[in-house]
Amino acid sequence: MSWEQLSERQPRVVKTLTNSVKKDRLAHAYVFEGGHGTGKMDMALQIAKTFLCRETTSVEPCGVCKDCKRIDSGNHPDVHIVQPEGQSIKIDQIRGLQKEFAYHGMESDKKVYIVEHADRMTVQAANSLLKFLEEPTSSTIAFLLTEQVHRLLETILSRSQVVSFSPLPPEQLMKSLQEEDISLPMAAMAAALTSDKSEALEICRQEWFAQARDKVIQLTEELKTRPSQVFVSLQDNWLSFFKEKDQLDNALSLLLIWYKDLLFIQLSEPEHLVFVDQRQALEQQALHTSQKRISEKMLAILTAKQRLGANVNPQLLMEQLVLRLREG
Ligand SMILES: [Zn+2]
């Protein structure tokens, strides 16, 4: 990967880090924090390459020298990666690291270590690492990667430069979900509900969400074709399925996305659709309404979401919402 490629995902982070490289001011310890799949490891390895490549004279590693190639293949003798063994990172793993670092580098004096899921260090391991961070040498860079920065010791954070990684934009999250064999409609839905990849994968793998999605499509269809029947079906198909408060909240989020999609159809921007496989139904529904009406309905759904948060009875809430959605 090049800085330019990384910049597509994390422009702000790349700018900060490449500036430090240019000024020869890389920190001794970094905490990279951000959701799953935001590119923390790729970024750490890129810095490692820039730091260890002996061919390059710019901020970009050459990519072809022995150092670069060894980092790419994951067997550079001066780049150490620590990952949890089972549930946690144990003190022996950190001690092993310290032992490695007590020797001079194999190729030069420079060394890089990367701790993945640094929040899973045991207290003993974290304290042991802390001693290490307290005695920085100019030839060492530490990267602590975490999705849960609040679980790191304050003392570790204060000795590191904390770099926050932005959540993935929906298009990239969708692409990366599809690479894991998730269908386009499910990937689009998950990416509209969350920007965290682990959470998105969980959504896609739950049968419940696929069913919830169908219920939402069904409700909008009934609102249009059998408005007088919709209260019956609200009882039989909707409230019996979305029993818990957070389930109903998710359902309302999906309903909101449906109306947003209607708006995109009206605006002739189908490339933004989330219900990608429902274009025909959306186009049919969009024929009989206006942008103004769609906006009003979206507002009604948002209000219902707020009222749900304020513990209004779900049945009452849905009945009132359906009245608003049925009009015009
Ligand atoms: Zn190189």
Q: Ligand 1 centroid to 166 CA: how many Å?
A: 28
Q: What is the mean pLDDT of the chain?
A: 91
Summarize pLDDT for 265-294 with one digit per residue, the tens: 999 999 999 999 999 999 999 988 999 999
Neighbours of ion ligand 1 (CB under 5 A): 53, 55, 61-62, 65, 68
Residue type, 22: K
| Measured distance CA(261)–CA(283) in Å, rounded | 10
- Name the pTM for this structure: 0.68
Q: What is the mean pLDDT of residues 68-86?
A: 93
Question: Hey, which residues does 114 pair with through a beta bridge?
Answer: 81, 143
Q: What are the strands, taking DSSP E only, across the chain?
A: 29-33, 79-82, 111-115, 140-146, 161-164
Question: Hey, which residues does 275 pair with through a beta bridge?
Answer: none
Q: Ligand 1 centroid to 23 CA: how many Å?
A: 19
pLDDT-derived band of residue 138, with 50, 70 and 90 as boundaries?
low
Residue identified by tokens 């909240």 is 249
| DSSP state letters, 50-84 | HHH-SS-SSSS--SSSHHHHHHHTT--TTEEEE--
Give the lowest-confidence range in 55-69, 135-149, 235-249, 295-309: 135-149
Q: Ligand 1 centroid to 102 CA: how many Å?
A: 25
Residue 49: how many other CB atoms lie within 10 Å: 25
Q: Ligand 1 centroid to 66 CA: how many Å?
A: 7
Say what percent of the chain tops pLDDT 70. 97
Report pLDDT for 172: 86
* Buried residues in 236-257 as b, exposed as e (16+ CB within 10 A): ebbeeebeeeeebebbbbbbbb
The answer to whether residue 178 scores a pLDDT higher than 90 is yes
Report pLDDT for 168: 82
Residue identified by tokens 């001079």 is 104
The answer to whether residue 58 scores a pLDDT higher than 80 is yes
Q: Ligand 1 centroid to 57 CA: how many Å?
A: 10
| Measured distance CA(68)–CA(307) in Å, rounded | 56
